[in-house]
């Protein structure tokens, strides 16, 4: 039986519609629109594309977008001064500093400068601790998007399922593991030093691949009926006559027809990240205004 294709693009579009529908009620109650500030340092082309799409999606959802594009040599101190200014700005509910920062910046110090109440990436020590303790807080966008897709396929209760996460990054692997533990899964974090990787992946009911290595996970590694979430976005070298190579994930999608469901690349996890960023911004806005969290998001 062919695997179900998990349509993250459609799921994200529906989430964005629910967010856009919830924004006017906030704006009425608070007397202002929710606001998201995105800070980009330098001119990495991929980051520029992401930042532009975040800005567009923010405005399309009826929120205010504040874009700060800084020269690569602006310096740590000026960047932190801008973050302090955004922390103080009543109209800003969410602050996202696009990562990675150019060489020479101390990312840890920059993230630590963000007000945890506006930390829509869920990266500050306070939000990391809240996630670890399973307390309310702001959660990193990509892992939260993956959880939404998993719940959509597997239902509310993930108790007792074996989950293997490949990758231990702060943005994806680590928070993903915490979210799955909080959902009562049995969680293994695999990484570049893991031994017997194939064997470990083969026992998983849930596989989350976030290693950034094109089609590393072969179909033969996946057990029948697994649900596979592919966070990787890798561009292959162009074939002769092509200008650009194909985008592929960390999983060999074509080989995975025996699994229960799998996210494609592109069109799987990718579109979820921005949708969850908007969700987190709206949630942060409600909490800052002393309003109950919006429902159904």
3-state secondary structure of 134: coil
| Cβ contact 190:197 at 8 Å | yes
Whose tokens are 């490949």? That residue is 166
Residue 99 in contact with ligand GUN, rule: CB under 6 A:
yes
CB-based contacts of 254: which residues, under 8 Å, 6+ apart? 219
Determine which one of 33, 93, 98, 260 is catalytic. Answer: 98
Name which of 63 and 277 has its Cβ closer to ligand GUN. Answer: 277
Extended beta strands in the chain, E state: 4-5, 35-41, 64-70, 94-97, 162-166, 186-190, 206-209, 227-230, 234-235, 247-248, 261-262
Q: Which residues are registered as beta bridge partners of 229?
A: 208
Q: Does 97 bind ligand GUN (CB under 6 A)?
A: yes
226 binds ligand GUN (CB under 6 A): no
Residue from 171, 248, 256, 285 touching ligand GUN (CB under 6 A): that is 171
Contacting ligand GUN (CB under 6 A), which of 12, 92, 101, 121? 121
What one-character DSSP code corresponds to residue 292?
P
Instruction: Return the range that interacts with ligand GUN (CB under 6 A); candidates 90-98, 157-165, 191-199, 207-215.
Output: 90-98
Instruction: Decide if 121 is catalytic.
Output: yes
Tell me the CA end-to-end span of the chain in Å, nearest whole number. 32
Part in contact with ligand GUN (CB under 6 A); list of ranges 96-104, 206-214, 232-240, 285-293:
96-104
Nearer to ligand GUN, 3 or 123 (CB): 123
Task: Write out the catalytic residue numbers.
Answer: 54, 98, 121
Residues that bind ligand GUN (CB under 6 A): 96-99, 121, 141-142, 171, 273
């Amino acid at each position: 039986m062919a695997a179900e294709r998990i349509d993250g693009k459609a799921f994200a579009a529906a989430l964005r519609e629910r967010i856009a529908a919830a924004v006017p009620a906030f704006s009425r109650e608070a007397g202002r629109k929710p606001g998201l500030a995105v800070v980009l340092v330098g001119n990495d082309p991929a980051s520029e594309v992401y930042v532009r799409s975040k800005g567009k999606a923010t405005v399309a959802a009826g929120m205010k977008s504040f874009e700060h594009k800084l020269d690569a040599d602006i310096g740590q101190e000026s960047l932190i001064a801008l973050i302090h200014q955004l922390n103080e700005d009543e109209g800003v509910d969410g602050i996202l500093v696009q990562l990675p920062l150019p060489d020479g910046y101390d990312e840890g110090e920059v993230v630590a400068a963000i007000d945890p109440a506006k930390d829509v990436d869920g990266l500050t020590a306070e939000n990391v601790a809240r996630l670890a303790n399973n307390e309310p807080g702001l959660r990193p966008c990509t892992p939260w998007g993956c959880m939404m897709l998993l719940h959509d396929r597997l239902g509310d209760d993930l108790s007792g399922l074996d989950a293997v996460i490949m990758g231990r990054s702060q943005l994806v692997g680590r928070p993903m593991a915490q979210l799955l533990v909080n959902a009562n899964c049995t969680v293994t974090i695999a990484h570049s030093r893991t031994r017997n990787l194939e064997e470990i992946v083969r026992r998983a009911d849930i596989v989350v691949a976030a290693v950034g290595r094109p089609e590393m996970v072969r179909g033969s590694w996946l057990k029948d009926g697994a649900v596979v979430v592919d966070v990787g976005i890798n561009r292959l070298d162009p074939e002769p006559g092509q200008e650009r190579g194909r985008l592929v994930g960390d999983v060999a999608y074509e080989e995975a027809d025996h699994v229960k469901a799998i996210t494609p690349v592109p069109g799987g996890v990718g579109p979820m990240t921005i949708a969850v960023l908007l969700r987190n911004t709206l949630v942060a806005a409600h909490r800052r205004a002393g309003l109950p969290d919006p429902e159904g998001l």
